[in-house]
Amino acid sequence: MKKIFTATLGTETNTFPAIPTGHQLFEETCLFRKASCGRDVPMFGAPLAVWRQRADAKGWQVVESLCAFAMPAGRTVKKVYEAFREEILADLRAALPVDGVLLSMHGAMVADGYDDCEGDLLGHVRKIVGPDVPVGAELDLHCNISESLLKDATALVLFKEYPHVDVPERADDLFTVMEGAIEGRTRPTMAAYDCKMIGVFHTTREPMRGFVDKLSSMEGKEGILSLSIGHGFPWSDVKEMGTRLIAVTDNDMPKARRLARELGQEFFAMRAATHPPYVTLDSAIARASAHNLPKPMVLADVSDNAAGGAASDSTFILKALLDKGIKDAAVGMIWDPGAVKLAFEAGEGATFDIRIGGKLGPTSGPPVDAKATVLKVEKDVTIEFGGARKSIGWIGDAAALQIEGVTVIVNSKRTQCLSRDCFTKLGVDPSTKKVVVVKSMQHFHAAYAPIASEVVYVTAPGALVPDWSLLPYTKVDKAQWPFVADPHAV
């Protein structure tokens, strides 16, 4: 009987904001031990559930270690990362001998003293299991792929979809690649191509949609085991930040290199066409004010996306809606545990003076002082996200507040507005509103595009304004597009 070892450790580290990532943030977001997350599977725990199911079906033994993920924020505290790493390594040593290791990681985790946590963890795992045991990892596509990660991994399989609705499906893909390697039927051989560009790439629109579909259609044929696009995470000031094309073949390095290069060059050639259609705050508010179609206009506050490390308490769009006197609007979610507490204290139906948002720093803007009516309060709210197989998220305690014409959801666990549950669980139906503001960069799209007449990506001020020239990079290689018009010509 074969035995596999599995674990999750990750977060997406925005190296610029001041919100620390400590043990508490892992506890709040996702921290389970030894298969204890049960039926409520969080996004980065979903691969563990898939691998357990696939291994069970084969009669393989599974040793499941830590399942730890933190809502993206600043650098992870050094001792917190090291303690989690050592816990996984101790579990692995205790499980030896194993026939394979499967890890669910993010790919852009930075801790104090560790710019490449995934490369560090995988390097330690490789030392323990030796050169011949297959070690695979599933990563978020917003990963910064390091040379050490490529050197020590047998295969890396990345999410293909942005929004990330395919986490369990890619876990299936990695298991299939690893299954062949563990049973000695295949020899995964991996190469990566540095596309030398920095960007945000939505797979909901052409030309990315077609490119992702093309990659999927090539897999499983002619010795091609897996193809992935690493989009990179631009808010991470690390040496290897950027886009990569990864190809895994069956024991054919020249082919892996050729595929990675050719597809990587094709991706690079689409760089201008893949740029998201961003709109300024003033222009978005003018359009929202004039909006009169039956379905809502959805405004994405991309600059205040909690899952990119932002505070999710900025007030720029809320204030603009109130100043413009826009009626029948809804905003979700502003992270403000203090406001939530006061709403619970006042109770449903109460009207009182409240100060909302604008707490974390200059990128949050000033707080909004207003008279609010408490529409509904709810404890420990869960939300669902994903495609065919959903994962669970936790937004904490939450309240729906009515301020003039705007319904505002405030919550106690800093979380991206991933699904319509963020409103509906507070008794607000976003599909009936004229304007819906979601604090999210792109994941909102899966749930909100179906109810929207139009989706507008707003570049309001905030921690995640998608303009790389504003980021004070010190380690990133700037010989990349858009800093350099054609870096491959240099």
Query: Footprint of Zn ion on this chain (CB under 5 A)?
Result: 140, 142
Using Cβ positions, the residue closest to Zn ion within the complex turns out to be 142
CB of 34 to Zn ion, least distance (A): 27
User: Which amino acid belongs to residue 445?
Assistant: H
Cβ distance to Zn ion smaller for residue 142 or 319: 142
Cβ distance to Zn ion smaller for residue 140 or 172: 140
Cβ distance to Zn ion smaller for residue 236 or 412: 236
Quote the crossing angle between the two packed helices 253-269 and 208-218, to the nearest 10°.
170
Cβ distance to Zn ion smaller for residue 142 or 170: 142
CB of 468 to Zn ion, least distance (A): 17
Quote the crossing angle between the two packed helices 46-58 and 167-182, to the nearest 10°.
40
Reading the block at residue 189, the tokens are 């051989």
Measure the N-to-C terminal CA separation of the chain; round to a whole number of Å.
Answer: 53
Distance CA 422, CA 411 (A): 9
Structure letter (DSSP) for residue 75: P
Cβ distance to Zn ion smaller for residue 264 or 309: 309
User: Which whole-number Å values give the CA distances from 369 to 190, 210, 252, 331, in the listed order?
Assistant: 55, 47, 63, 16
Cβ distance to Zn ion smaller for residue 98 or 145: 145
DSSP bridge pairs for 396: 381
The secondary structure element, H or E, covering residue 72 is strand 61-73
CB of 349 to Zn ion, least distance (A): 40
CB of 164 to Zn ion, least distance (A): 6
Cβ distance to Zn ion smaller for residue 305 or 412: 305
CB of 143 to Zn ion, least distance (A): 8
CB of 236 to Zn ion, least distance (A): 12
Q: Can you tell me which residue has the tokens 């206009």?
A: 297
Distance CA 221, CA 217 (A): 9
Nearest to 14 by CA among 382, 311, 288: 311
Nearest to 45 by CA among 103, 86, 121: 103
CB of 309 to Zn ion, least distance (A): 12
